[in-house]
Structure 1
């Protein structure tokens, strides 16, 4: 016949070899982790079912109590860390809301013109370059303007386009596509266009972090912002 200790084990979803019980609680079947309550239940059952002529060794009892204390401390620490993470997430979202209505410089190839016409932006270079060019295209892919920036050092280099084509005509209202190329003696240099875009909304991304929504670009994380205008 199963002892009350066997029954306790069974109720936690653990059956000792050779034990049987008609009162087994199946609600914990499939459970793989033990929480603080389970630990205390097992320790109490062990004390209740110990052999009075061969009680649990004091050293073992102290070790088990130490494990219980450690488990309790870890549980409380996890709860505290979770609360801190939620607080930081809330603060980050509040900080991100401050971007709404502002313009940010970020990686992207679609740019909308300023009220006065033209666009400003930058080129991010992965290495020093001897020849850097910015090409502005319309929605059909037609080249409107080519801006030669010449030799530039690694990093970000700004450019400004006044909104006129190579022939001197007004380019229109856009949006425009920005493409960049760069070369040095070793060949092509990795170059990324950076454009200014207004922040329309802020939302929580799939990763639980705030994301900025930019027209023509989509959602970006806060760490993708190079500069705020």
Structure 2
């Protein structure tokens, strides 16, 4: 049969917890070297230096310069922290102002509700006719249309959410294809889609816009905000 013995809890005035090893913890000391500490050490160093080998002026000035550098770095870090705080507040204000507006982003695929239309901008490489195809998730082309470019640059385009027969399209994922020219001269063009900004997230890398039908995109990916 095992025997459980009671621990020795006898104590004294110096160690009231006895032999349990629960003596009061010594408070931690601040070991950081402040300006007053540094100056006191420098004074003691000057008082106790060898009169026959006094500290060189250059060495003394070097130590002062080192301490000034450390102080400058501490102040710079405090200043940078303040700047970061101001920038974060500025980002919050910018985010609040963007919600509810429209953003133009380079994209060729979008999630749409049934019968929902779409608009955007196509980057034309030159003057001419631009052919636009709206393709559903199965790969079938539901609508063909065209716009005219007068010169190179952005050309507005829009789709009313109907197929070639004039019927509203079903909800789902759609792809927009834009080309110019014909045959061997055919060229695929960059498509920009306009989407509603539902919300804005403040991430470590910056502002991220949550766009209706397009998901989340960083602010740097936005071409224009209307």
CA contact (8 A) 2:195 2:211 kept: yes
- The answer to whether the aligner puts 1:227 opposite 2:224 as a matched pair is yes
**How big is the shift at 1:169?**
2.8
- The answer to whether the aligner puts 1:85 opposite 2:88 as a matched pair is no
**Where do 1:139-178 residues align within 5 Å?**
139-178=137-176
Distance across 1 between alignment mates of 2:106 and 2:33? 51
CA contact (8 A) 1:122 1:158 kept: yes
CA contact (8 A) 1:112 1:119 kept: no
Gaps of 5+ in 1: 1-35
**How big is the shift at 1:95?**
1.0
The number of residues matched between the two structures is 191
CA contact (8 A) 1:112 1:174 kept: yes
CA contact (8 A) 1:139 1:174 kept: yes
CA contact (8 A) 1:101 1:198 kept: yes
SS in 2 for 1:193: strand
Correspondence for 2:74 = 75
Q: Which moved more, 1:167-176 or 1:63-72?
A: 167-176
**How big is the shift at 1:213?**
1.2
Cα 1:47–1:179 shift into 2, 3 Å: farther
CA deviation vs aligned residue, 1:131-153 (integer Å, no higher than 9, x gap)? 53221112322111122224453
SS in 2 for 1:167: coil
Correspondence for 1:47 = 45
TM-score (norm 2): 0.67
Correspondence for 1:8 = none
**How big is the shift at 1:100?**
2.1
**How big is the shift at 1:215?**
3.5
CA contact (8 A) 1:111 1:197 kept: no
**Where do 1:194-209 residues align within 5 Å?**
194-207=192-205, 209=206
Correspondence for 1:134 = 132
TM-score (norm 1): 0.66
Distance across 2 between alignment mates of 1:188 and 1:59? 75
Distance across 2 between alignment mates of 1:140 and 1:206? 38
**How big is the shift at 1:187?**
5.2
Gaps of 5+ in 2: 1-31
CA contact (8 A) 2:114 2:172 kept: no
Correspondence for 2:209 = 212
CA contact (8 A) 1:106 1:195 kept: yes
